[in-house]
Amino acid sequence: MRTPSLYSQDDPISAALKPSPMETEAERTSRLYTEAEAKRVSEQIDDDLREERERLKKKKGDVKLLLLGQAESGKSTLQKQFQLMYKPTSMDQERASWTAVIYFNVVHSLKHILATLEAWDDTLDEDAEAQPTSTDDSQSIIPKKARGNGIADQPSPSTSLLTGSIIQGSPSSLMPSEAGGSHSHSMKEGGALQIANLRRRLSPLVAADAQLADRLSGGISVSGSGKGGVFVRSGWQARTIENALGRIKQKRPSAESEKKTREIEPQEPQDPLVQDVGRMLELSVQDIRELWHHPTVKGLIAKRKLKLDEWSEFFLKNITRVASPDYVPSIDDILHARIQTMGVAEHIFDVNIHGKSVTWHLFDVGGARGQRHSWVPYFDDANAIIFVAPVSAFDQYLEEDPRTNRIDDSLQLFTQICSNALLKNVHLVLFLNKTDLLKAKLDTGLKVRKYITSFGDRSNDYETVVQYFRAHFLQVHRRNNENRRVLYTHFTSVVDTKATQRIIGNVRDSIFRGYLQSAALV
């Protein structure tokens, strides 16, 4: 047998390596470049596939935690507590973006107060707070502008999950069609003039409400956005800071004036609109204080004819600090700041548990009725759920459906979670939230039985009330618990950092035990 030479013409590889006699030097250079580029792309694809396999392998050990509950239940505040506990530097990085939210909260609250005052005609009594402050809403008067607009029409009472009782006292049923005797006194002329002057002086500040809302939402308009006034999507903090930088560049001052500005102003970027609102707040601080402490406003709040959310009262009580020229939001401010979540926002934390680092994917979802359909795709591979139910909301009704009591809505929503087949093995934690606000309401003498008739003649003290609500959530869970899953329940006020982080530690440990058990079964 003839042994072929090393570079035999019969060897196809050798033939391929030899330059073609018809190939020019430029063509050869181009071919070699193309081949090298193809090899680089191929190797990059191999690397990407290898990284994806590693990522998927690693993600199998991750924890997926969902925060569920109705709007304004405290989910986003709880997410901030997780962030503060496991990723505190990120809170500092986005601190500047919260200034716009807090300014919006203040301006929106002022707009609501002034609109409420305007809705009442001269039958209001300036000395309302000096009169007996009954907490019985059935004595409320109907604002003049509300009469004839259907507000006094009594809807059919709604059936509650609270032992099938009828929930009474929906917003419209709290307003009799005929005004009570409490409006027989006219507002004093001086008081009316004082409020008119405050309205005029605060009008430029209140006019900024729409601009701030547009800036925060990125121009997204949502029908029925409710008291919060604005919806934001995931990542709004970074976009707010980027937008501020972009607008600062557009309004770039001279080098000399910029140097002077850096010497006297903080280095964090701020949107010119936010700076303008800050200046107006500084100039208006006395007017805001005067409005907030006005006898008519205090009287309406005491008689529950003017209802403000906790974030409104928090910032108005601290308006001198918030309106200061060197204001920087504190952690407490950020926890109280209110902005409504649209869609689903994912937050990733590396949680160290007993020397093992586990990546947690926390999903904060929009809780309004129209957004709950977006929850389902996240159920499939969830490890744990924290369901947040605001127990202080026994006297409140859904923005989307004024006939539905918020406690009853929470129970119905909890029933759907407990009975969902995709979630039958998911670790479940219940936060009965806003206990601080519940205590405050009960301390004023507000009666639970007025809104939830099944409460009956039970004692109206805090311990009795919270255990009553807890019993109904436990009952829902028992009826929908084929796998005998344990329900972990906590009474919470998620604006209380120390107490909440202690509870988060307990929740973390219980979720981790379930995580280890499920991993052992795989």
339 assigned ligand-binding residue: yes
Nearest CA to 514 out of 485, 492, 491 is that of: 485
341 assigned ligand-binding residue: yes
Tokens representing residue 151 in the block? 């507000």
435 assigned ligand-binding residue: yes
144 assigned ligand-binding residue: no
Tokens representing residue 408 in the block? 């009853």
Nearest CA to 67 out of 327, 286, 375 is that of: 375
Helices (H), 267-405: 272-292, 295-302, 310-317, 319-322, 331-336
112 assigned ligand-binding residue: no
Tokens representing residue 376 in the block? 């389902």
Sign of the dihedral defined by the CA atoms of residues 157, 159, 162, 163, in that order: positive
100 assigned ligand-binding residue: no
Q: Residue 349 and residue 361: Cα distance in Å, rounded?
A: 7
Phi-psi region of 31 (alpha: psi -120 to 50; beta: other; left: phi over 0): alpha
Q: Residue 322 and residue 343: Cα distance in Å, rounded?
A: 30
9 assigned ligand-binding residue: no
| Complete DSSP assignment for 28-73 | HHHHHHHHHHHHHHHHHHHHHHHHHHHHHHHHTT-EEEEEE-STTS
Q: Residue 128 and residue 117: Cα distance in Å, rounded?
A: 13
Nearest CA to 448 out of 516, 399, 392 is that of: 392
Phi-psi region of 207 (alpha: psi -120 to 50; beta: other; left: phi over 0): alpha
| Complete DSSP assignment for 443-494 | HTT--GGGTBGGGTT---SHHHHHHHHHHHHHHHHHHT-TT---EEEEE--T
For residue 231, give the 3-state DSSP assignment.
strand
Burial pattern 334-373, b for ≥16 Cβ within 10 A else e, equals: bbbbbbbbbebbebebebebeeeebebbbbbbbbbbebbe
Nearest CA to 183 out of 139, 133, 119 is that of: 139
Nearest CA to 402 out of 118, 150, 24, 128 is that of: 150
Strand partners, 340: 231
340 assigned ligand-binding residue: yes
Strand partners, 346: 363
436 assigned ligand-binding residue: yes
Token pair 């917003």 is at which residue?
171
Residues 6+ positions from 77 with CB-CB distance below 8 Å: 335, 494, 495
The distance of Cα 47 from the centroid of its chain, to the nearest Å, equals 39
434 assigned ligand-binding residue: yes
Binding-site entries for GTP = 335-341, 433-436
Binding residues for Mg(2+): 341
Write out the binding residues.
Answer: 335-341, 433-436
